[in-house]
Amino acid sequence: MSQQCVDPIVGKILAGWRYDISGLAPEMRGDYESHFASCEHCRSRQRIHRMIDVGLIALASVSAGVFLLAFGVIRHFGPRHAFWLEIAALAGFALSALIWLGVAVATPAPVTVLDAAKEGARRVHDRLPEEIRQRLPEEIRIKLTGT
């Protein structure tokens, strides 16, 4: 069963922005955040878009690593035409890095990953015994708990 957007006009605006409101000023974000809170359709679309963004960054990272590995293998074994193979490996690495940078700049994926990391750290912090929590530096406790 396909769900419908609760407010199609707002839904179309959000779809045009790829469901990314991270660049909006906080005072302008309220209506869109409340729309996400009430609209399962737009929330699921936002999750899909963020998964694609994070997937692209992960794929570009793996690709860059493979090209660096290929460069190292070529340097180590020194086959015939090694120079051109090294150039190709470095060009592949450069292209992967450029794609990674483009996705990181054009999408909110880094913010999404950072938020997920903070949430995970917050969960670990909440499970720690009280005496260990008190031993953490105050600035870390503030970042984790917000208080």
27 located within any domain: no
What are the tens digits of pLDDT across the range 2-20?
A: 588 998 888 898 888 888 8
Tally: H helices and E strands in the chain: 7, 0
How confident is residue 1, by pLDDT bands cut at 50, 70 and 90? Answer: very low
Whether pTM exceeds 0.85:
no
DSSP assignment of 17-72, as one string?
TTT--TTS-HHHHHHHHHHHHH-HHHHHHHHHHHHHHHHHHHHHHHHHHHHHHHHH
Distance, in Å, from the CA atom of 25 to the CA atom of 41, rounded to the nearest integer, reads: 24
- Domain extent at residue 145: 108-147
133 belongs to a structural domain: yes
pLDDT tens sequence across 64-121: 999 999 999 999 998 888 999 999 999 999 999 999 999 988 888 877 777 778 888 8
**Residue 136 within any structural domain of the chain:** yes
- Residue 38, in any domain of the structure: no
Establish if 103 belongs to a structural domain: no
- What six digits make up the tokens of 83? 């120079």
- The count of other CB atoms within 10 Å of the CB of residue 7 is 15
Indicate whether 96 belongs to any domain.
Answer: no
Domain count, the chain: 1
Contacts for 23-31 with beta carbons within 8 Å, 24 or more apart? 23/108
Let me know if residue 71 belongs to a domain.
no
Whether 87 maps to a domain, the answer reads no
